[in-house]
Amino acid sequence: MTDAVALTGCLTKMAVEPGSPARYTLRAGDERLDLNARLGQPLRLTWTGAIACTHCGRATKKSFGQGHCYPCFKKLARCDSCIMKPEQCHYFQGTCREPEWGETHCFRPHVVYLANASGLKVGITRETQVPTRWLDQGAVQALPILEVDSRQQSGFVEVLFKDEVSDRTNWRTMLKGEAVELDLPGERDRLLERLAPGLLALRERFGHDAIRELDGAPWAFEYPVLEHPTKVVSHNFDKRPEVAGTLLGIKGQYLILDSGVINLRKFTGYEVTVEA
């Protein structure tokens, strides 16, 4: 048994590093808790009722866009709808909420990838977020297939792929550990061949070198899970401020307890007391 601890702070998404298995750290304000070391032990999280905006720090009665107060949600570029739908980027129309932020975060190389968390899916991420993005999704396999020059371009490519493959993860299937191993290089080759005309049109629009094929090896991930749930029951601080049970695993941004699961990223900015 590890020593008992108690800490209080506002949640941010768990830090995660690849490994066998991946290593997770719970972050509550300035406090940190090694979750891997707590597997098989009791864990209790209690929401104090307070929420703080992760950008400006002001108190808010409701969290918007995973941890923002409403004014920040309405003014920050990172909360704009084009973050979820990059193909709708409006920077060149002169209406970006924060042009300098967009130049720093959106006009950087992005990766289009295939992943397997609950089945085959396509996704996009900044090059600097590899492999964290896949770990946050609970993927057991991932394969970068294309590199592009900007987030908007990655959005156009993703739209092409969504005609053939989902861009969503079934989080219940992911938590149950039911994903079947896939031949990601084979899926890549099949999709690139099928979507070649659409990719050619995008290259003609943005330049041949703007969309580059990648031929790296697939990634594989393991997670610290003692037992996958057979029936997924989800905890919600807004409905019940206390979540407690034995920690059976961590996968994606979920804690798996014998009493149910909770997506900590969903409650970014919530002030909680953690007892372990």
Which pLDDT tens digit goes with each residue over 33-57?
999 999 999 999 999 999 999 999 9
Say yes or no to pLDDT of 2 above 80. Answer: no
Name 251's Cβ contacts closer than 8 Å, sequence gap at least 6.
Answer: 138, 174, 175, 223, 225
Give pTM, 2 decimals: 0.94
State residue 247 phi and psi, 5-degree precision. -75, 115
Tens-digit pLDDT profile for residues 170-220: 999 999 999 999 999 999 999 999 999 999 999 999 999 999 999 999 999
The alpha-helical segments, DSSP class H, found in 68-143 are: 70-75, 81-84, 99-105, 132-137
Contact present, 261 and 232 (Cβ < 8 Å): yes
114: nearest Cα among 167, 152, 156, 178: 167
With 70 as the cut, is the pLDDT of residue 1 above it? no
Beta bridge partners of 24: 16
Q: What is the pLDDT of residues 236-266, one digit of tens each?
A: 999 999 999 999 999 999 999 999 999 999 9
Looking at residue 4, its pLDDT comes to 86
Q: Where are the domains of the chain?
A: 6-61+223-275, 109-220
